[in-house]
Amino acid sequence: MSSKGHAHSSTVEVATSTNTTPTTSGKGHSGTAAAAGATTTKAAAKKKVDKNIAPTREWQVIVGILFLLLLLNLFRRYRSRHSAKKRARKTTITSGGFQGVGTSFSEKDAQDVNGGSSGKDNRERVIVEKKKQGGMVMVGRSVIATMAIWEKWMYVRTLPKWLFGWKSLSEIVWTVMYFAIALGLGMKDITLKPVNWSNQMGILAFAQTPLIVGLASKNNVISFLTGIPYQHLNYLHRASGRLAFACSWAHMAGRIQHGLRGKTDIHSMTVRHGIVAIIFLTLLSSSSLRVIRRLWYELFIVCHIVFAFLFLLFACLHYPEYIHWVWPAFLLWGLDRIVSGLRMMINSLPITITYSLTSLPRVQTKSRGTATDCIVELVDKDVLRISVPMSLPWSPGQHAFLSMPSISKWRFWEQHPHSISNLCVGPEPKAVFIVRAHKGFTGRLRDAITSDSSVVLAFVDGPYGKSPVLGGYDSIILVAGGTGITHCLSLFLHIAINQPDSHVKLIWNVRHASYIGWLAPMLNQHVASFSSKAKIIVHVTRSPLSAEFEDLHGLSDTIADGMTELWYHHDHQHHQQHVTLDKTTYNPISPTNGTSENDSGPSSENATIDEKVIPSPSSSSVLQVQTPGVNSSDEKTNTIEAEVKVAVRPESRKAFGLDEATKRLITFRPGRVNMHTVLADEVEHIEGKINVTVCGPEALSRDVREAVKTITTVKAILGGQAVVAVHEETFGW
Ligand SMILES: Cc1cc2nc3c(=O)[nH]c(=O)nc-3n(C[C@H](O)[C@H](O)[C@H](O)COP(=O)(O)OP(=O)(O)OC[C@H]3O[C@@H](n4cnc5c(N)ncnc54)[C@H](O)[C@@H]3O)c2cc1C
């Protein structure tokens, strides 16, 4: 940071360089008048120069961009609502169709198209017909293709992890653009003299502070105006932080080059405060490295807040004239805290009354009044289902921060974000979270659960985040891995109930089929209202069940459905049985079942299953499934002996807690989902727009991106293929 003395000298130099300094001739004036004149002139020059060198232009551009984003946000919301209404009016064409841009596609067209031939043939025929109709259609498709390719390069492709941690190109582009705009505008009219540019660098660093703090907060104005979720703005927070860091060091380097002397001697308080400020900024930046965030998140949070506060404090002491860049940062931070506190209070207040009326027992309650009782269930070894009454309404896809004083103990700042997995319905809605237990807070919570279900004290700060706008899509594929289901489930429930014209598929990769039990209450609650276009496909990847699935590669839906009768749980009673599986149950590898021929495991010939199937006690030990296309002569000869190690929940025959109607909705499949196959099938049969939303481990997101990348080619889109948009939700910043 610049010292006062330096700032003064730099001021004059800049003024001279821009030829705006008023003349300071004292001829004809008395000594006092001359002195007063000189002071006035200096002040005027300083004022003028401050105006010149302050990065107001940068801020004007930022405000301009924000305004454009606001308009874009309003337009996007309008368009989404409009197209959802339009689609509701339109008769849906179920398969094989193609709708060219700018043309209407009648039911008769659809029938013609569907008449007996494959989707690809149909599409080609329609393309030829549409081409005959005129060039407008192709012009429209060219625009769509250009936009799709742009999205593919900017948002779908990721950079190598070693380079930018699997981030998309857009994030680098935004960061570079941010640097270019800030430096380009902020450094305009600056001379190459060290004292000159270095001071300007210091001021640029100051000017970043409102943005750094504003973009980091959960309750931020920019997010509200632009519709960009606050967590997605996080990379701009980092970009402005990096710029402040670079500018501060550049400022110091310039001052050293100029020479630390006079009022800016190394021993002066101004310089000392500046040095302390830069030390705290460096500590702040280095404690924010990804590795620290991953390994010691709590340490990162504490360091971030403490170092940020100390940096701003010493920056103000170093150069108080620029405090007007700093106090808005404190204001934004304070506002964020106040709004968070209010949210927690509103979420808690009425619920406490409800609970005191029903006299629900409290465990580990340390305070009274605004606390919220929260029910925590251990649904698997490392997975908790947490239900918390929440008064503020939430939308599907949003998340909230949980804090539990009795679990956090002295870590009063501890708050953990979790996606809300259910819909906000009923007079006293409860938000349901599905939480994987790690080593920290979530692990401590798991350890605190003494029985299957406990009641603890919790505060909810939320909801936060924005629902992805999925109203305008004809087909929505929600792909989840493990606890990533929480984000996708609420979206699925919402679409299955409120968008009856959209095809919606929830694809879930899980280790064990029994995990479907995590979702049972939410699915059972709404299944009666689901549209007929809603499907749930569970891919079982690791359990004994999945090993069996792999052996059977491409087990038909019917047998998979039978599997929902089975119960596997590590804690429950284990039974061993022998089951004979008739080979007729094999569904020869279907192109749509998400398992390719090569990775489908051993062939069905004499395959032996060691520790696998969990049959329903109500079903026969021979699982008979009719599969079209299987040679009847094979039926008698090919049977498999399977030794089954199962865990059957003794007290319940209600498979995984699912109702009959819910069970019918779910298809189990072996092995991981093959996104290439799923998407190829989808674009083959769906007209209009497709959205793939993914939430889960990095590897799953990469699979989805790869599949979308492969399928999105200029040729295919010009040929009428649906455009596939990707939305990714991550459980981290
Ligand atoms: C928007 C969002 C939604 C999420 N939704 C879910 C969900 O629905 N289900 C679920 O199981 N998990 C979810 N997570 C992740 C969840 O917040 C962390 O797993 C949890 O906070 C870990 O707490 P811990 O102290 O037990 O973790 P630790 O054992 O201390 O660390 C485990 C991992 O969690 C990260 N982590 C720790 N604390 C936080 C925090 N406060 N914020 C962000 N990351 C943190 C660490 O960096 C580390 O990578 C979500 C995260 C975000 C950002």
Do 307 and 221 have their domain in common?
yes
* pLDDT value of position 615: 32
More confident residue, 236 or 156: 236
Which of ligand 1's atoms lies nearest the C-alpha of 300?
47
Asked whether the predicted pLDDT for residue 278 surpasses 90, the reply is yes
- Reduced to 3 states (helix: H, G, I; strand: E, B; else coil), residue 399 is strand
Q: Which of 296, 379, 418 to mutate to test the pocket of ligand 1 (most atoms within 8 A of CB)?
A: 418
Asked whether the predicted pLDDT for residue 579 surpasses 70, the reply is no
* pLDDT value of position 53: 53
The last residue of one of the domains, among 292, 325, 358, is: 325
Going from the Cα of 481 to the center of ligand 1, the distance in angstroms, rounded, reads 15
* pLDDT value of position 122: 52
* pLDDT value of position 730: 83
Do 224 and 260 have their domain in common?
yes
**106 is a domain residue:** yes
Do 308 and 405 have their domain in common?
no
Whether ligand 1 lies within 6 angstroms of the CB of 179 is answered as no
What is the Cα–Cα distance from 689 to 685, expressed in whole angstroms? 11
Going from the Cα of 732 to the center of ligand 1, the distance in angstroms, rounded, reads 7
Mean pLDDT value across residues 230-251? 90
Residue type, 516: I
Q: Which of 292, 297, 379, 508 to mutate to test the pocket of ligand 1 (most atoms within 8 A of CB)?
A: 297
**85 is a domain residue:** no
Whether ligand 1 lies within 6 angstroms of the CB of 296 is answered as no
* pLDDT value of position 448: 82
Going from the Cα of 479 to the center of ligand 1, the distance in angstroms, rounded, reads 20
Taking CA atoms only, the protein residue closest to ligand 1 atom 38 is 297
Do 312 and 355 have their domain in common?
no
- How many C-beta atoms lie closer than 10 Å to residue 300's C-beta? 19
What pLDDT, in 10s, does the model give residues 448-466? Answer: 876 555 667 788 998 998 8
Which of ligand 1's atoms lies nearest the C-alpha of 733?
53
Is beta strand 503-510 parallel, antiparallel or unpaired with respect to 475-481?
Answer: parallel
Average per-residue pLDDT for the chain: 70
The last residue of one of the domains, among 410, 439, 464, is: 464
* pLDDT value of position 11: 37
**427 is a domain residue:** yes
Write out the residue range of the structural domain in which residue 451 sits.
341-464
Counting the structural domains of the chain, the total is 4
Compute the residue count for the chain. 733
What pLDDT, in 10s, does the model give residues 78-93? Answer: 877 777 667 666 544 4
Do 273 and 351 have their domain in common?
no
Going from the Cα of 733 to the center of ligand 1, the distance in angstroms, rounded, reads 10
* pLDDT value of position 653: 39
Whether ligand 1 lies within 6 angstroms of the CB of 230 is answered as no
What is the Cα–Cα distance from 507 to 678, expressed in whole angstroms? 10
More confident residue, 270 or 349: 270
Mean pLDDT value across residues 141-149? 79
* pLDDT value of position 189: 72
Whether ligand 1 lies within 6 angstroms of the CB of 697 is answered as no
Whether ligand 1 lies within 6 angstroms of the CB of 417 is answered as yes
* pLDDT value of position 127: 55
Do 459 and 492 have their domain in common?
no
Going from the Cα of 438 to the center of ligand 1, the distance in angstroms, rounded, reads 8
Asked whether the predicted pLDDT for residue 423 surpasses 90, the reply is yes
* pLDDT value of position 61: 78
Is beta strand 383-389 parallel, antiparallel or unpaired with respect to 372-380?
Answer: antiparallel
* pLDDT value of position 553: 36
CATH of residue 720's domain is 3.40.50.80
**222 is a domain residue:** yes
Whether ligand 1 lies within 6 angstroms of the CB of 692 is answered as no
Taking CA atoms only, the protein residue closest to ligand 1 atom 43 is 732
Taking CA atoms only, the protein residue closest to ligand 1 atom 32 is 438
Going from the Cα of 182 to the center of ligand 1, the distance in angstroms, rounded, reads 33
Task: Name the residue with tokens 């689609």.
Answer: 87
Strand ranges inside 565-679, DSSP E: 574-582, 622-623, 639-647, 666-670
Q: Alpha-carbon torsion 405, 408, 413, 416, what sign?
A: negative
Asked whether the predicted pLDDT for residue 492 surpasses 90, the reply is yes
Do 354 and 397 have their domain in common?
yes
Going from the Cα of 484 to the center of ligand 1, the distance in angstroms, rounded, reads 12
Going from the Cα of 341 to the center of ligand 1, the distance in angstroms, rounded, reads 21
**74 is a domain residue:** no
Do 299 and 397 have their domain in common?
no
* pLDDT value of position 602: 32
| 135: confidence class by pLDDT, cuts 50, 70, 90 | low
CATH of residue 395's domain is 2.40.30.10
Between the ranges 132-141, 189-198, 680-689, where is the mean pLDDT highest?
680-689
Taking CA atoms only, the protein residue closest to ligand 1 atom 45 is 297
* pLDDT value of position 453: 58
More confident residue, 16 or 672: 672
What pLDDT, in 10s, does the model give residues 608-640? Answer: 222 233 333 332 222 222 223 333 333 333 323
Do 196 and 106 have their domain in common?
no
* pLDDT value of position 338: 92
Do 320 and 399 have their domain in common?
no
**520 is a domain residue:** yes
What is the Cα–Cα distance from 498 to 530, expressed in whole angstroms? 8
Six-digit token string for 650: 């003794």
Taking CA atoms only, the protein residue closest to ligand 1 atom 41 is 416
What pLDDT, in 10s, does the model give residues 551-565? Answer: 333 333 434 444 433
**226 is a domain residue:** yes
* pLDDT value of position 251: 92
140: nearest Cα among 100, 80, 82: 100
Taking CA atoms only, the protein residue closest to ligand 1 atom 46 is 294
175: nearest Cα among 114, 127, 99, 237: 237
The last residue of one of the domains, among 163, 197, 216, is: 163
Asked whether the predicted pLDDT for residue 114 surpasses 70, the reply is no
**334 is a domain residue:** no
Q: What is the Cα gyration radius of the chain?
A: 31
* pLDDT value of position 657: 81
What is the Cα–Cα distance from 165 to 635, expressed in whole angstroms? 51
Do 307 and 187 have their domain in common?
yes
Asked whether the predicted pLDDT for residue 397 surpasses 70, the reply is yes
Whether ligand 1 lies within 6 angstroms of the CB of 438 is answered as yes
Whether ligand 1 lies within 6 angstroms of the CB of 290 is answered as no
Whether ligand 1 lies within 6 angstroms of the CB of 486 is answered as yes
Going from the Cα of 18 to the center of ligand 1, the distance in angstroms, rounded, reads 52
Whether ligand 1 lies within 6 angstroms of the CB of 440 is answered as yes
More confident residue, 412 or 185: 185
Mean pLDDT value across residues 382-397? 89
What pLDDT, in 10s, does the model give residues 649-693? Answer: 333 335 678 888 888 888 888 888 889 889 888 888 877 789 999
- Range with lowest mean pLDDT among 405-419, 475-489, 505-519, 661-675: 405-419
Whether ligand 1 lies within 6 angstroms of the CB of 416 is answered as yes
Whether ligand 1 lies within 6 angstroms of the CB of 341 is answered as no
* pLDDT value of position 671: 85
* pLDDT value of position 451: 59
Whether ligand 1 lies within 6 angstroms of the CB of 640 is answered as no
* pLDDT value of position 67: 86
More confident residue, 414 or 283: 283
Q: Alpha-carbon torsion 316, 320, 323, 327, what sign?
A: positive
Whether ligand 1 lies within 6 angstroms of the CB of 435 is answered as yes
Contact call for residues 486 and 402 (beta carbons, < 8 A): no
What pLDDT, in 10s, does the model give residues 319-334? Answer: 888 888 889 889 999 9
Do 698 and 616 have their domain in common?
yes
| 644: confidence class by pLDDT, cuts 50, 70, 90 | very low
More confident residue, 566 or 392: 392
What pLDDT, in 10s, does the model give residues 335-381? Answer: 999 999 899 888 876 444 334 434 443 433 333 334 566 888 888 88
Whether ligand 1 lies within 6 angstroms of the CB of 720 is answered as no
